[in-house]
Structures are given as C-alpha cells and as structure tokens.
Amino acid sequence: MKILAIDPGSTSTKIGVFTHGEMIQEGMDHDRDLIDSFAEIHEQEEMRFACITRALETRGFGTVRFDAVVGRGGLIRPVTGGVYRVCDSLLADLRTGVSGSHASNLGGILARRFAASSGCEALIVDPVVVDELDDVARLSGLEGIERKSIFHALNQKAVARRVAEERGGSYHQAHLIVAHMGGGVTVGAHKKGRVVDVNNGLDGDGPYAAERSGSLPVDGMAEALRKGRFTPDSLVRTVSRSGGIFSYLGIVDLREVERRMDAGDSKAVLIWRGMVYQIAKEIGGLAAAMDGDVDAIVLTGGMAHSRRLTEAISEKTGFIADVVVVPGEFELEALAEGALRVLEGEEKVKRYETGEQ
C-alpha cells in the first residue's frame, strides 16, 4: 500500500508517504508574509499544492499512484470519530469554513486534489471537530450557549489507541484521560472509544498554554471590551493566538521559559507553575467526570518532551492513575494508520452527512 498523508499547519505543511510499512516524512515552512497575503485559508491551495508537488518529486514520488490520499480534518460540521471520504459536501464545507477558519481545513482540500491524479480515495481521519460529548458535558450554565468539542482529536485518539494496546487492551474498552500539550492544551476523557468530555482548546476553554489563553473570567473580558482594549474579533484572535505564556512572557517556546526559570526569573517560574496547576486541575476534573474509573493518564504533544513538565503534572495527578508519557505529535502516522485500516478492511469509511458507515 502507498498512502500520502497531508498535514497543513498555520505556516508549514508536513507530508508523509507510507510505503513498505515505513513512513517517509517531509516538512515545508512557508513565509509568514506570504501566508498573510491570502485573505482566506482556502486561497492557499495552489501555493501549498505546488510545494507538496515539488517535495514529492524531490523525494522520487512524483509519478507514484497512491492507493489513498489522506488529509488532516478541519473545521467541518461536528462528527463522530472515524475515517471520512472527502465527498462534495465535505469539500464545500472545508472551503467555506462552515465551523471556522483554520489551516487544517486545507487537509481535505489538498487530499482531494492529489487523490484525483492517482484515481484513489481522498480521506480525512478524526477531524478537530470530533464530537462525542455526553449530553451533560454540553451544558455551559447559560441557556442558548453550549460547550463545543474542538480539540486535538487526531493525535489524542491515535495515542490513546497505542497506549491501550500496549497495556494489553483495546481502545474501545479503555478509560483514559489524554492531555495533548502544544501551542494549545486539550484534555479529553476517553471512555470506551468515545471522547465523552473535552475542553475546546481552540476557542478559549480549559488550561492556558503556550499561546492560547484557556478559560477567562467573563467579567474581565466584558470590561476589556467596554474599555476598547479589544473588539469582539480581536479578542477571539488574541485568545487563540496571543494568550497564555506568550501574553505573560512574550515567548512561546517552553524551553526558553525553563531557561529563564533556571536563571532565576521568578515570573517565569510562576507562569510555568500556573500552567502545570491548570492542566492538573483539568485532569482531576475529568477523573471526577469518569467517576474515578481511569485506567491511565496520558501526556502527549510537543510540550511532553519536557521531563520537568511531565514530572510536575505526574506528581499532582499520579494518585488518580498511572501516568504514561508519549511525547510529540503523531498526526501523519495517525492519518496513514486510519487510511490503512480502511484499505485493509478493518474499518469502514463513514458518510459525512450522517456519520453512518
């Protein structure tokens, strides 16, 4: 099987070619000014398509016909987890940004484009809008406003599957709490294959992180709007792009934060401790939501490379369950694995409109 996986980020595009049981990866960085020159995310299609084409040719895959092309799922309509064919309606929702504008919307668009030349299926796997919340988890406390499920679904589910299998069980029988810690932090309660509760890390919910604010006091936001510090649109952008550690210290690299801590920067110490505190508190809250029935806590994402961070969170949460650290992101592998499950008949493709197989 030959599978092309495409993972667009805000200023980069990562691709992976799965062949002969191995993944060959390539990363491409895009100039920020070039990215900012596009008014809409979907307008970047031609530029990114050309970059991927050149990378494939350089790697010797320019004439390869793939068995499937799979892209990172974007902000489409809420769906349950699984593998979806990029049908016309899904493609249209990616282009219009039916649930919001994000670089991940390009994943399915580009997958469809490359699949056409290979005459194969275009797929997405576990998009960021995977919604499997229990009804009680949707309640916000204010009629007319519901909590939304937008999180690192692809990496969370892939790592949860891996941990469950390594522990001798099945993801669809396991009870896990998975914390993905990167530019944003999302913590999900995985109960027998469903993420029954999770914070919306994109729009400002849960712990703060490198560049996202997490939950904010309503009165503080209202006061900032009244004083003209933000407009509604600029507040949304700030919460998702310039909040968290960046808002306090002007940096997003956790390694630099820890260097400042080692140099005696007391503010850096406080902000770092605050993030640990909030992540641990989110994990503890989900443990209560799962009635204390937790097989393991899983720490993953880029920040999980910090032993100092994972040990601090483990000290606060280890009384709940064993803590397993799986540092890094495995999105390309997760995309390829999802496509392979379909190609080998282990999983059926779901219909986007209904979520049925």
State percent of the chain over pLDDT 90: 92
Q: What is the per-residue pLDDT for 11?
A: 86
What's the mean pLDDT in 343-356? 87
**Comparing 202 with 76, which gets the higher pLDDT?**
76
Q: What is the per-residue pLDDT for 88?
A: 96
- For residue 352, the one-letter residue type is Y
Report which of 210, 207, 182 is spatially closest to residue 327, judged by C-alpha positions. 182
Neighbours of 120 (CB within 10 A): 20
Q: What is the per-residue pLDDT for 32?
A: 84
Sorting pLDDT into bands at 50, 70 and 90, what band is 355? low
| β 68-72/2-8 pair status | parallel
List all residues 6 or more positions away from 331 whose beta carbon is below 8 Å from its beta carbon.
Answer: 7, 14, 72, 154, 155, 158
Q: What is the pLDDT of residues 147-171, one digit of tens each?
A: 999 999 999 999 999 999 999 999 9
Domain ranges of the chain: 2-129+332-343, 135-320
List all residues 6 or more positions away from 223 whose beta carbon is below 8 Å from its beta carbon.
Answer: none
What's the mean pLDDT in 298-304? 97
- Name the pTM for this structure: 0.93
What's the mean pLDDT in 278-282? 98
What's the mean pLDDT in 95-118? 95
For residues 149, 155, 157, 160, the Cα torsion angle rounded to the nearest 10 degrees is -130
DSSP β-bridge partners for residue 3: 18, 68
In the block, tokens 């929702």 appear at 93
Q: Say which CATH topology domain 135-320 has.
A: Nucleotidyltransferase; domain 5 (3.30.420)
Does the domain spanning 2-129+332-343 belong to CATH 3.40.640.10? no
Would 2-129+332-343 and 135-320 be classified into the same CATH topology?
yes
Residue 14 has pLDDT above 70, yes or no: yes
